[in-house]
């Protein structure tokens, strides 16, 4: 996990200290179950609860010698617990503890991610509402198409992120499973009641059919939800990057006091945050692919997934939380330039209105749609090639075949707001942030 791209809170969550704490809590809960069955005395349980201390350094020392992290952990506990340690890990296998703990950490990380998501959703919805009626050039293929509004642009991104949040919520619930079912999942050394007892303490459900591990489709689904969130952020930040290009400069990400844009070119104000988020989204997609490859383990388990998960699970959750937080900062401090937006709207000399012109010509004359299309396209191509000699409206108004169309009708054709009568309807369909 790279400190530059992670918060202190999620780094603490994925620390060795936190992992071993959760392992210890699971081991103690299992001992509590055996205590209810009379297998562990009150005094022994008290020793297990109060003396199960450890240091990461000591566990690392032991692991360096024996090359097994769970046994190293248990050995370190036993050094402090004393004779009662014989009850710790009774009947369990390593994955009973480590897999269940990992799911708990994934759930905790997921909640941090959704907290960051809620902040972004509120910010982007406000931005959309604030600019609901600000007309901008809509583009397809990077080329002017028809007018839209800046608010609608960002409302689309809000709706996508709202769906991403719903997927994350479902994926988190899909991680609320643990397994304490033994070496190959058959409960050969402990009853299912032990599993139920322990998992209930941690608000987890028993895996329906486990092997030595929890099936990895759950982890893959979680990382897919994270990767799709990353792609939603990618699309959002790419839009800002495109709108920030010098030729338009319709919006800009924040450029802070004292910030430098280039070591060689003092004038530069680069969209570095947006670019960073786009780049990190690509990493998330790679992690999701790795998680998919972790699903088909050999038989009841191999450890080909283990090393990969030590990287992809902490890193993916940390990265997406960081990206959400940075995206919120960009959105809350986004600079919008209405004069530049108006200039860009006018840059193609009325070509954005060609579709409405086509409909009007077809409706107001007796000519076929094909003939109407030919007239409007001819005027449009002339405007593309010789904008100085007239705009689309002047060329159409002067066309001999279109003299029957009134000035008022042409005014309506070239009124951007005539394209946007249903903006409020679209906004009404979108759920507000909670």
Q: Which residues contact 213 (CB under 8 A, 6 or more apart)?
A: 95, 99, 179, 297, 300, 301, 305
End-to-end CA distance of the chain: give it in Å, rounded.
31
Which among 314, 312, 238 is positioned nearest to 279, based on CA atoms?
238
User: Residues 219-235, buried b or exposed e (16+ Cβ, 10 A)?
Assistant: bbbbbbbbbbbbbbbbe
Q: If you count them, how many residues does the chain have?
A: 434
Three-class DSSP category at 346 = helix
Q: Which residues contact 238 (CB under 8 A, 6 or more apart)?
A: 274, 278
Q: Which residues contact 333 (CB under 8 A, 6 or more apart)?
A: 253, 254
Q: Which two tokens stand for residue 254?
A: 């924040």
Q: Which two tokens stand for residue 236?
A: 């959002």
Tell me which residues are annotated as active site. Answer: 141, 262
- How many Å separate Cα 252 from the centre of its chain? 22
């Amino acid at each position: 996990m790279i400190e530059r791209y992670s918060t202190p809170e999620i780094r603490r969550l994925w620390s060795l200290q936190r992992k071993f704490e959760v392992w210890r809590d699971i081991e103690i809960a299992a001992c509590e179950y055996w205590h209810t069955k009379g297998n562990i005395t009150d005094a022994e349980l008290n020793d297990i609860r109060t003396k199960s201390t450890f240091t990461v350094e000591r566990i690392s020392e032991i692991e360096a010698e024996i090359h097994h992290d769970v046994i190293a952990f248990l050995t370190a506990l036993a050094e402090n617990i004393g004779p009662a340690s014989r009850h710790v890990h009774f009947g369990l296998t390593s994955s009973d503890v480590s897999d269940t703990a990992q799911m708990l950490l994934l759930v905790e990380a997921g909640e941090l991610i959704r907290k960051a998501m809620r902040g972004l959703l509120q910010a982007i919805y406000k931005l959309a509402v604030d600019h609901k009626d600000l007309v901008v050039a809509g583009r397809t293929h990077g080329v002017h198409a028809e007018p839209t509004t800046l608010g609608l642009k960002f409302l689309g991104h809000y709706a996508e992120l709202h769906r991403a949040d719903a997927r994350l919520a479902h994926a988190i619930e899909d991680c609320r499973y643990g397994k304490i079912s033994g070496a190959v999942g058959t409960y050969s050394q402990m009853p299912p009641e032990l599993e139920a007892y322990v998992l209930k303490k941690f608000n987890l459900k028993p895996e329906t059919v486990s092997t030595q591990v929890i099936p990895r489709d759950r982890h893959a689904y979680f990382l897919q939800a994270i990767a799709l969130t990353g792609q939603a952020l990618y699309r959002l930040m790419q839009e800002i990057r495109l709108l920030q290009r010098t030729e338009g400069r319709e919006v800009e990400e924040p450029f802070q006091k004292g910030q430098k844009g280039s070591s060689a070119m003092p004038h530069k104000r680069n969209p570095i945050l947006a670019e960073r988020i786009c780049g990190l989204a690509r990493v998330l997609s790679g992690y999701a692919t790795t998680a998919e490859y972790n699903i088909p383990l050999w038989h009841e388990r191999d450890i080909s997934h283990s090393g990969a998960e030590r990287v992809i699970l902490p890193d993916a959750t940390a990265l997406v939380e960081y990206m959400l937080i940075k995206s919120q900062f960009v959105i809350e401090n986004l600079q919008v330039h209405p004069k530049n937006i108006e200039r860009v709207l006018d840059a193609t000399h009325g070509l954005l209105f060609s579709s409405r012109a086509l409909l009007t010509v077809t409706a107001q004359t007796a000519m076929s749609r094909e003939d109407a299309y030919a007239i409007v396209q001819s005027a449009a191509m002339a405007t593309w090639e010789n904008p100085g000699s007239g705009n689309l409206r002047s060329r159409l108004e002067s066309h001999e075949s279109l003299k029957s169309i009134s000035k008022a009708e042409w005014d309506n054709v070239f009124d951007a707001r005539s394209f946007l009568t249903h903006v409020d309807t679209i906004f009404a369909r979108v759920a507000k942030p909670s």
